[in-house]
Amino acid sequence: MSKPLILIRHGSTKLNSEDRIRGWLNIPLDDEGKKQAVKTGRKLKKEKLDGIISSDLDRCIETSSIVSKLTGAPILGVTAHFRPWNVGYLTGAKTDEAHKILAVFAQEKPNEKIKDGESFNDFKKRFLTGIEMVKKELPDKKIAICTHHRGDKIMAAWEAKGEPKDLEIDLPTFLVDGIKPGDYRVEGEIKHEKGQEAEYKPIKKVLEKHK
């Protein structure tokens, strides 16, 4: 059995501050995001990491670099496996608006590609296949994965099902918020806001423009 992974969410960016979807936009950390990464790096010293593997988007690479410097853990690689869900035309949209549409795709149309993006199931397979590769190749190492909001959430949803080989997930777990920007958690410890409950309602009607 491999050692538990550490899941790090990259620090905040300008779009986090504006409450907009980041998606695959390659945007840097803002000043607050750099401070968050420093705080997390200091907290992670106690974990004695053997290495960090990062999403290949700049905000994760910046976060990983800061954590690496503070912990002494090397960055072992960067990969597109740990990018977030490519939400296509919803990139840059206000989160409240986009979340409703993304919930429809996740619940009712998981195999349908979002315009200019990817399907929910393609995202799930890409991300969790990357996790399985890390577990297989580095089972005796304590590894941190630096990823994104929906990367943490898809991982948590898989964990909630016991990490089955068929990559089945607990969808209600995916539909609630995970760790905050710049924070981290240990695999198996799923963090939700106090009092937050999963909202899982089949959505019967979608605006015509989003069909």
Taking the whole predicted model, whether its pTM rises above 0.75 is answered as yes
Q: What mean pLDDT, rounded, does the chain reach?
A: 90
Query: 114 with 86: CB under 8 angstroms?
Result: yes
Spell out the residues 6+ positions from residue 85 whose beta carbon is closer than 8 angstroms to its own: 23, 102, 117, 118, 120, 123, 150, 154
Q: What is the mean pLDDT of residues 160-177?
A: 94
Q: What is the mean pLDDT of residues 64-72?
A: 98
What pLDDT is attached to residue 97?
Answer: 87
β-bridge mates for residue 78, sequence order: 54
Q: Give the pLDDT confidence of 14-33 residue by residue, as tens digits.
A: 998 888 999 999 999 999 99
Query: 170 with 192: CB under 8 angstroms?
Result: no
- Domain 6-210 is classified in which CATH homologous superfamily? Phosphoglycerate mutase-like (3.40.50.1240)
Domain boundaries defined on the chain? 6-210
Burial category of 195 from C-beta neighbours within 10 Å (exposed 0-12, middle 13-18, buried 19 and up) = exposed
Q: Give the pLDDT confidence of 117-161 residue by residue, as tens digits.
A: 999 999 999 999 999 999 999 999 999 999 999 999 999 999 999
Percent of the chain with pLDDT over 90: 82
Q: What is the mean pLDDT of residues 106-126?
A: 97
What pLDDT is attached to residue 194?
Answer: 39
What pLDDT is attached to residue 208?
Answer: 37
Helices (H), the chain: 14-17, 31-43, 58-71, 95-108, 120-137, 149-160, 171-174
What pLDDT is attached to residue 159?
Answer: 95
What pLDDT is attached to residue 2?
Answer: 81
